[in-house]
Structure 1
Amino acid sequence: MSIIDLELQVADNAENLPQEKQFLAWAQLAVSKVMASGAQPASLTIRIVSSEESQELNHQYRGKARPTNVLSFPFEIPQGLPQDLLPEEHILGDLAVCADVVANEAREQQKDLHDHWAHMVVHGCLHLLGYDHIKDEEAEVMESLEAEILAELGIGNPYVIED
């Protein structure tokens, strides 16, 4: 049984995108690794965006005027929302993943494109679940968890640079 209700939005005509079932499997694994075993259902939106949309979002929300691989927007319950209007399932939030940046990074870093997509989804989901990598200590925890999740998918540690 899936604990993730995934909405996949493809707003860019990118080639070689993973199938929706792959996005779901990656998100499912990341969320199930972090949330308790009796986790309630959760919803997540993954939007595949163009470089232009990624740059616009990155500028608006992070003050950076360039596209980026993945942006995470955790859901926040509006203040003052009556209890009876609270959603039944946990809403994780939204990921905006730029297909062009993911493809370019995979090529530049000599990584398998499918593996890099998996990494970006796992990375974004961990951000939605409260993980960050601004401080070195936080980065170590987050990167270790990412590597553990990706290993379960048969994907090598993306933070190890091989010569």
Structure 2
Amino acid sequence: MIVDVVTEDARWQDAGLDALAQTAAQACLAHLAISGAEVALLGCDDVRITELNADFRDKPTATNVLSWPAEDLAAEDAGDTPCAPTPDFDGSLELGDIAISYDTCAREAADAGKPMGDHVTHLIIHGVLHLLGYDHIRDQDATLMEVIEVQILGKMGIDDPYRV
């Protein structure tokens, strides 16, 4: 598993984004029995993620994480497992790109009273799952995605982020 991390906001370096990204993505892919995958991750701030959200989703607001899958793997029927990713002709398995905003992540972690590292780990897993075709628009898909997130986080010793 290779996560190519680019940080536009120096606070991500202090937060250990590179190590968090490697650990979270590896845990996610191991859980799904996927190996040899590559992901690009941009650690940015609310200004940059607002621009990206406006450009790609027509939503000019900050968000915690965005993802751009290399291929559409979404399941046709609600609640079904997405299609497996296929390697390129050279054997590489590029899943896509993720952007994560320090400002929104820090605010959400503080508001929820949870460690920043745990929240960021959850959001990176969430982003990787989006790259793999998981989504939360339809209720059945959201349930499937949340169950997988909770299972992965549990294996990592991180509490269920959906439990109130």
The TM-score bracket by the shorter chain reads 0.7 to 0.9
TM-score, normalised relative to structure 1: 0.85
Letter in 2 for 1:41: G
Aligned to 1:136: 139
Aligned to 1:61: 56
Structure 1 runs not aligned, ≥5 long: 78-84
Q: What's the CA shift string for 1:94-128, capped at 9, x where partnerless?
A: 11000110000001111111110110111001000
Aligned to 2:159: 156
Alpha carbons 1:40, 1:89 under 8 Å: kept: no
Aligned to 2:121: 118
Partner Cα distance (2:46, 2:54) in 1: 12
Aligned to 1:80: none
5 Å-filtered alignment, 1:1-163, equals: 4-14=1-11, 16-34=14-32, 36=33, 39-76=34-71, 86-161=89-164
Aligned length: 148
**Percent pairwise identity:** 34
Partner Cα distance (2:111, 2:10) in 1: 21
**Higher-Rg member (1/2):** 1
Aligned to 1:81: none
Q: Give the RMSD, CA atoms, in angstroms.
A: 1.7
Partner Cα distance (1:66, 1:138) in 2: 24
Would the alpha carbon gap of residues 152 and 88 (structure 1) be closer, same or farther in structure 2, given more than 3 Å must change? Answer: same
TM-score, normalised relative to structure 2: 0.84
